[in-house]
Amino acid sequence: MIRIVVTGVHGLLGQKLVEVFGPQFCELFGVDLHRENLFQGRPRYHYAPLDITRRADVMEYIGDIRPRVIINTAAMTQVDACEVQREACWRVNVDAVRYLTEAARRVGSRFVQLSSDYVFDGNAGPYGELDRPNPISYYGRSKHASENIALGSGIEAAVVRTVVLFGHGRGLKPSFVSWLVQKLREGAAVKIVTDQISNVTLVDDLAGAIRRIVSLGRTGLYHAAGREILSRYDFALKVAEIYGLDTDPIQPTLTRLLEQTAPRPLQSGLLVDRTEEALKLRFRTVEEALQEYREQEAGFN
């Protein structure tokens, strides 16, 4: 039975990976910054607090476990915070990836790195895996750097880009969908941008793609996201439709009017056809993803 290490295991994707990599598939080792273990009693699961920005600690931990695969889901993802707290962003999103790949090289591990559509400028999306990155935010630059480290590390490595991730998890901040549903149930007005256009991704689809990459031993670059491209505003209208909520409180606005610190790619999105073909899977449509999300709610309330 293979050993797999998942970093950032208490995050949304990390929690879902614990679910999809069942005990019949692997012995799973989860690491995060928190002391507590969210998965007490799970068979063949081991948890340890670990700061992946500390090189010595990473080298020691990976050296002791000697996993077959390392999946790095840990990241600083608050785009505006990354623009301001650049040193912190670089430590987590870039330096830690360098330490993890160095440790992976020493023990012969394969490596999976998560990335984002923010590596593109958003001038001519949606983008395929062969399109040239041109990040316009510091967060995007850090993720592009992490991709280069992983793919240039000389080890068996895969990079998985995704976009607008949502889903259910424990102890997490509300996702865009849960936040919007709550606001609409309260009858509160919400301003949603019409000029940010991309896919949206149910975390189940992303985790499923990663499992396929691991089980098939794949390397290289993959786009894993929902099948449809739409604006945030149209996505919000679809959420309201699925939940049977009034759309009147959803007010259209433009990104520039929000005066956010970091620039956002506007005409973005990821083409997923190559990944679907390579991994022999199918990503959900927006409606399918939201229906699944709603059906899962009972288990998290």
Residue type, 30: G
Task: Say if residues 6 and 14 touch (Cβ distance below 8 Å).
Answer: yes
Helices and strands of the chain, counted as H and E runs: 11, 13
pLDDT at 13: 98
User: C-alpha dihedral over 153, 158, 162, 168, to 10 degrees?
Assistant: -110
SS3 113: strand
pLDDT in tens, 128-165: 999 999 999 999 999 999 999 999 999 999 999 999 99
Tokens of 254: 């433009």
- How would residue 295 be classed by pLDDT, with cut points 50, 70 and 90? very high
| Position 243 pLDDT exceeds 70 | yes
pLDDT at 301: 66
Q: What angle do helix axes 286-296 and 232-243 make, rounded to 10 degrees?
A: 50
Q: Report the 10 Å Cβ neighbour count for 281.
A: 15
Domain 2-166+200-227+269-283 annotated CATH 3.90.650.10: no
Those residues with Cβ within 8 angstroms of residue 197's Cβ, 6 or more apart along the chain or in another chain: 125, 229, 230, 231, 232, 266, 267, 268, 269
Those residues with Cβ within 8 angstroms of residue 117's Cβ, 6 or more apart along the chain or in another chain: 125, 127, 161, 162, 163, 198, 199, 225, 265, 268, 269, 270
| Position 103 pLDDT exceeds 90 | yes
Task: Say if residues 128 and 275 touch (Cβ distance below 8 Å).
Answer: no
SS3 73: coil
Task: Say if residues 254 and 195 touch (Cβ distance below 8 Å).
Answer: yes
Say if residue 126 is preceded by a cis peptide, omega within 30 of 0: yes
SS3 250: strand
CA distances from 211 to 54, 114, 149, 216 (A): 27, 13, 22, 8
Tokens of 36: 């507590």
C-alpha to C-alpha distance for 93 and 74, rounded to whole angstroms: 8
Q: Give just the sign of the alpha carbon dihedral 66, 71, 77, 82.
A: positive
Average pLDDT, integer, range 48-73: 98
What are phi and psi for residue 248, nearest 5 degrees? -55, -35
Mean pLDDT computed over every residue of the chain: 97
| Position 300 pLDDT exceeds 80 | no
pLDDT at 209: 98
CA distances from 69 to 3, 86, 104, 158 (A): 7, 29, 8, 11
pTM of the model: 0.97
| Position 272 pLDDT exceeds 70 | yes
Provide the residue ranges of all domains of the chain, joining segments of one domain with +. Answer: 2-166+200-227+269-283
Average pLDDT, integer, range 274-279: 98
C-alpha to C-alpha distance for 91 and 111, rounded to whole angstroms: 19
pLDDT at 169: 95
Those residues with Cβ within 8 angstroms of residue 116's Cβ, 6 or more apart along the chain or in another chain: 77, 139, 140, 143, 161, 162, 163
